[in-house]
Amino acid sequence: MWKRFRLTLEMIKFEHSIFALPFALTGALLAIRQTHMHASAAWARIGWIVVAMVGARSAAMAFNRLIDQEFDARNPRTRMRHLPAGVLSRPFTWVFVVISALVFVLAAGQLNTLCFRLAPAALGIVFFYSFTKRFTSFSHLVLGFALGIAPAAAWIAISGALDPRILWLTAAVTFWTAGFDIIYACQDFEFDSVEGLFSLPRRFGVAGALRIARLFHMLMIACLLALVYSLALGALSLAGVAAVTALLIYEHSLVKATDLSRVDAAFFTLNGYVSMLFFVFWAADVLWKS
């Protein structure tokens, strides 16, 4: 059982929870700053936010592997993933999805009533993404929104209500995720074309898709600047935006339409740095003014 659990964590790339979690924590810190919540209460809420994030992402990733198993088995890049390779069974993976979803709902219930009521909708959004490549080229934006709701959800978890200003961060995460997912999807241009799957690389070609990815990342930066202005944040937040901008420029320099050999570095390594550096600078700004 422990071995299968460990293999499941490998399958869902559990370590990549780092992509969205820092943005969720940033949303929580911004809400704490606005509500002046006491530190003891804030730490308890943050703990449940982390549990909820991990539960939702784990359920969504395992569900995605189940839904895409047939495609993964036919794709040379993914045929050795755990399900198509027979390392894990479908029944065990379904049990993992259900348990992870229940953990998420439990954590949402520990936060507040509104979080609990919205939990099914959140699960619906993250599960819905798995079907989108079958009918829309804009599946990348759906994935982005699935991650982008995290900071807004964290704000609700702290304050009990939604402040429209935090939606700038939702939009920023949406465009950021969509941009790097487009870069990653360029690897499957030929496979998607053969299988009839939808993606922006298939629709606009690899060169065109990379231009759209750059546009989305520019929109991310614009949304972050709008959030800085709307919440009257300080110089450290602006420094964080500058650091993110520099990393994204470097990320795009690694990938060209004629050379996708460094996609993994652009996708996995640099985007982990983007989320962590963003959180460090913005958390420092919030805590400095507290």
| pLDDT tens digits for range 141-156 | 999 999 999 999 999 9
Tell whether the model's pLDDT for residue 159 goes beyond 70. Answer: yes
Residue 265: how many CA atoms within 13 Å on its side-chain side?
11
Range of weakest confidence among 2-6, 29-33, 97-101, 215-219 = 2-6
User: 290 versus 102: which is more confidently predicted?
Assistant: 102
**φ, ψ dihedrals at 255, nearest 5°:** -120, 130
pLDDT for 11: 85
**Contact yes or no for 177/148 (Cβ under 8 A):** yes
Tell whether the model's pLDDT for residue 6 goes beyond 80. Answer: yes
Task: Give 62's pLDDT tier (boundaries 50, 70, 90).
Answer: very high
pLDDT for 194: 95
- Cα 41 to Cα 202: distance, rounded to the nearest angstrom: 48
Indicate the pTM of the whole model. Answer: 0.94
Q: CATH homologous superfamily of domain 2-289?
A: UbiA prenyltransferase (1.10.357.140)
pLDDT for 289: 67
pLDDT tens string 102-148: 999 999 999 999 999 999 999 999 999 999 999 999 999 999 999 99
pLDDT for 189: 95
- Partners of 256 in the beta sheet? 259
Average pLDDT on 25-46 reads: 91
- Cα 221 to Cα 244: distance, rounded to the nearest angstrom: 8
Task: Give 269's pLDDT tier (boundaries 50, 70, 90).
Answer: confident
Tell whether the model's pLDDT for residue 15 goes beyond 80. Answer: no
Percent of the chain with pLDDT over 90: 84
Percent of the chain with pLDDT over 70: 99
Task: Give 290's pLDDT tier (boundaries 50, 70, 90).
Answer: low
pLDDT tens string 220-264: 999 999 999 999 999 999 999 999 999 999 999 999 999 998 888
Say what angle helices 235-254 and 270-289 make with each other, to 10 degrees. Answer: 180
Task: Give 77's pLDDT tier (boundaries 50, 70, 90).
Answer: very high
Helix (H/G/I), strand (E/B), else coil: 263: helix
Written as one letter, the residue type at 149 is I
**Contact yes or no for 133/199 (Cβ under 8 A):** yes
Average pLDDT on 180-192 reads: 95
Average pLDDT taken over every residue of the chain: 93
